[in-house]
Structure 1
Amino acid sequence: MSSVALDPPATAGRIIEVLHPGPVPVAEPAPASPEGGLLIHPACTADAAAIAAIYNDTLPPPALRGTLRALGLAEVQGWMLLHRGSGRPLWVARSGPHTVGWLSFLGYFDRPGCEATAELSVYVAPAWQGRGIGRQLVDRAVQRAPACGYRRLLAQIWSDNHASLGLFARAGFVLWGRLPGAVRIGERRCDMVLLGHELAERP
C-alpha cells in the first residue's frame, strides 16, 4: 500500500487454510477507544462487506493478478466465523462513518506447538493510506498480543513492498528470514520477506 497492507498473497490463496480452529488462546477484544480520531474495534458480521472491499481494492488490475482473486462476501463471513471459533482477533478501523482498514491475527499454519505465534495481516483502504492507520493497527496488535496469549508476531511481505516493510520495521519487527523468488504472480518475481517481533512475557 502506499502501502500499509501486506501483499495480497499474504492471505489470498490460503486465507481459509491457515484459519482452521486450533488450540489457540482465547483473545481478549481490543478496547474500542479512539486514537487520533480513529476507532479500532472487533469486527462484526456487518463489517464483512467493508473488509472484502478494502482487500479487493488493494489487488492489482485483473490482467496482472495471476492467481490472485477477489474475495466474496460469503467467503469473508466464513473467515470471520473461523476467527471467532479460534479466538483470534480480527479488528476494523473506523474514521467517522467510514471503515478504513482492518487487521487480523492468523495462526502460524496451525502447526502443533506454534499456538503462541501469530501472523499479522493488515489492509488499509487506498483512499486512506498514508495517514498512519496501518501503524495504529499494528501498534495495537503488538500491545494487545501478550494479553491474547501470543509471544511472537510474524509478518510475510513481498520484498518490493517497501512501504509495508518500513511500517513493520518502525513497529519493532526485525528480519527473521527471506524466501528467494517465492512470489511469482504473472511476470512479477520477488522474494518473500519474513519479519518477526518477539514480545515481552507477561509478568
Structure 2
Amino acid sequence: MPEPLIRPARSDDEDALARLDRETWSPLHEVRPAPPKPGEPFFRPTCGPDAHLVAEHDGRVVGYVRLLRPTPLESNAHVLQICGLAVAAEARGKGTGRALVRAAVAEARRREARRITLRVLGPNTVARTLYASEGFAVEGVLPGEFHVGGRYVDDVLMGRSLL
C-alpha cells in the first residue's frame, strides 16, 4: 500500500469515520465505552471535522487523527493534543499511523502551537513505540489510572516541543 493521502476531514466523512471508530475500538487503547451504534453522530459540537485529519487510500477512509486543545484555558492555548488515532486493520503496519502522527505535528505547527501532547495506555506498546519514534517522550505515568478490559492500566503522558 503506498503512503495514504492525508487531508482535513469533511462533514461527509462522518459515516466512514463512525464505522472506522466502531471497527477499531479495543480496550487495549480506549478507555471510553465502545462507540455508538450505527446512525449516531461521530462529530460533536466540540469536536467537528476541523478537529480531524483523515487518511485515505484509493478513495477510502483508512484512518484519522483527532487534534484538540487539551483544556479551554487561555494559558494552555499553546498546546495541542492528539485525542484519538485510528487506523483500519488493512492499513496497519503500512505507514498510515506514522503519516497521521506526522500530519498532526505539521498541523499543530501550522496552528502555531509550541507543544503537542497525547495520552496512551501503558499496554499499547505499538502506539507508544510509534510516538517515541516520532519524537514524543514520556513525560509522566499515572499508574493504574484506568480499569479497562478487566485490569488496571497505566495512563502514559507523552509530548514533544514544536520549536
Question: What's the TM-score, normalizing by structure 1?
Answer: 0.70
> SS of the counterpart of 1:181?
strand
- 2:46 match: 82
Identity %: 27
Q: Find out whether 1:140 has 2:103 as its counterpart.
A: yes
User: d(CA) in 2 for partners of 1:67 and 1:176?
Assistant: 23
From the two aligned structures, give the one with the greater strand fraction: 2
Q: What amino acid sits opposite 2:73 in the alignment?
A: R
2:73 counterpart of 1:107: no
Structure 1 pair 83–67 and aligned structure 2 pair: CA distance change class (3 A): closer
Q: Is the 8 A contact 1:102 1:122 kept in 2?
A: yes
Quick one: structure 1 residues 38 and 110, their matched pair in 2 at CA, closer, same or farther if it must change by over 3 Å? same
Task: Report which structure shows greater RCO (CA 8 Å, sep ≥6).
Answer: 1
Matched, 1:70 2:35: yes
**Are 2:9 and 1:47 aligned?**
no
Separation in 2, partners of 1:67, 1:132? 26
Q: Which amino acid aligns with 2:102?
A: D
Q: Deviations over 1:14-57 (max 9, x none)?
A: xxxxxxxxxxxxxxxxxxxxxx4411111111111111111111
Shift in Å, 1:84: 5.2
> Is residue 102–residue 123 contact of structure 1 (8 Å, CA) maintained in 2?
yes
**Unaligned ranges ≥5, structure 2:** none
Is the CA contact 2:55–2:62 (under 8 Å) kept in the aligned structure 1? yes
Matched, 1:59 2:22: no
2:55 partner letter: A
Separation in 2 of the partners of 1:190 and 1:99?
A: 30
Q: 1:162 matched to which residue of 2?
A: 125
Q: CA RMSD in A?
A: 2.2
Give the CA deviation at 1:66.
8.6
Matching of residue 124 in structure 1 with residue 87 in structure 2: yes
> Which ranges of 4 or more aligned residues in structure 1 deviate by more than 4 Å?
none
Deviation (angstroms), 1:186: 4.6
In 1, the alpha carbon distance for the partners of 2:112 and 2:75 equals 13
Deviation (angstroms), 1:67 = 5.9
Distance in 2 between the 1:68 and 1:131 partners? 28
Amino acid of the residue matched to residue 150 of structure 2? E
| Structure 2 letter corresponding to 1:193 | V
Does the residue aligned with 1:52 lie in a helix, a strand or coil? helix
Question: TM-score under structure 2 normalisation?
Answer: 0.86
Note the residue ranges of structure 1 that are not aligned, 5 or more in a row: 1-35
What is the number of equivalent residue pairs in this alignment?
Answer: 158
